[in-house]
Amino acid sequence: MWLRRERPLRDRRLSRAHIVGAAVPVLDTEGHRGLSMRRIATDLGVTAGSLYWYVRTKDDVLELALDRVLGEVNADPEEPDWRHGLAALARNTRAMLLRHRWALLELTVRPNLGPNAFTLAETGLHLLSRAGFADADLDAAMATVNDQVVGAVIAEVAWRDTLTRMRESGAEWTQHATTAYLRDVAARHPLLAHRMAAGKGADVERDSERRFEFALSCLLAGLSATCDATIPSEHPQAAPAAR
């Protein structure tokens, strides 16, 4: 996609920018299911076939849409404390992904070669290199943080979506078949049962954030320990100050 330059413009009514501009709102409000080439076309007052003048497949549209929303994430590569910088980057990414939930799938289905993706990667690398990582470890550390964020938000979104879906289709938790199935599960899995009981009246919003922060501090502690072990002369402090 990013290799195919947009055609020079003359008297046209469309452009890639127009197409993503139409696609993103549809994705935000109706999800992947709601987006079709025909839908984008009619929103732009045009025929479905026309889009193929600007874009080779529907996947191209999604790739463009992803890079657009990646542009919404901002992070400061010059933040003095690399831990704070990385944490901010992670939190901002999470917030963006919660605004554009469809983007998670695009982010994960292929590597990301758009300009905004590269910019974000560079600031992440910059922060981690200042932490003392280099070469293969720099790659690995960056990947670890990214993967944690993506994995966490994926799980969070999946959970939130089913909760709202269940709210829409009536409170199925209290259905007979459901309680029977869950009782069966609980009987076989004591720890799971204990956790399920605790999660009954939980606040999804707060819990998700707690978990995200737990994972983040856990990971930063692990990264600190790892880079201190590799380059012990870098940070001659008393304690790595986890959390």
Residues 210-239 that bind a copy of itself (CB under 8 A): 210-211, 214-215, 217-223, 225-226, 229
Under the criterion CB under 7 A, does residue 13 sit at the interface with DNA?
Answer: yes
Among 175, 183, 232, 235, binds a copy of itself (CB under 8 A): 175
C-alpha–C-alpha distance, residues 219 and 144, integer Å = 8
Nearer to a copy of itself, 48 or 242 (CB): 242
Does position 42 interact with DNA (CB under 7 A)? The reply is no
DSSP string over 98-118: HHSTTHHHHHHHS---SHHHH
87 touches a copy of itself (CB under 8 A): no
Query: Does residue number 130 form part of the binding site for DNA (CB under 7 A)?
Result: no
Binding to a copy of itself in span 96-155, by CB under 8 A: 104-105, 108-111, 115, 118-119, 121-122, 125-126, 129, 135-141, 143-144, 146-152, 154-155
Nearest to 20 by CA among 6, 11, 10, 9: 6
Of 171, 169, 117, 175, which Cα lies nearest the Cα of 146?
117
Q: Give DSSP secondary structure letters for 37-55.
A: HHHHHHHTTS-GGGGGGT-
CB closer to DNA out of 50 and 144: 50
C-alpha to C-alpha distance for 149 and 215, rounded to whole angstroms: 9
Q: Which is nearer to DNA, 31 or 151 (CB)?
A: 31
Instruction: Give residues with Cβ within 8 angstroms of 93, minimum separation 6.
Output: 73, 120, 149, 153
C-beta closer to DNA: residue 13 or 206: 13
10's contact among DNA, a copy of itself, none, with CB below 5 to 8 A by partner kind, is: DNA
Q: Using alpha carbons, select from 183, 174, 112 the residue that is nearest to residue 146.
A: 112
214 binding DNA? (CB under 7 A): no
Binding site for DNA (CB under 7 A): 7-14, 35-39, 41, 46-50, 52-54, 56-59
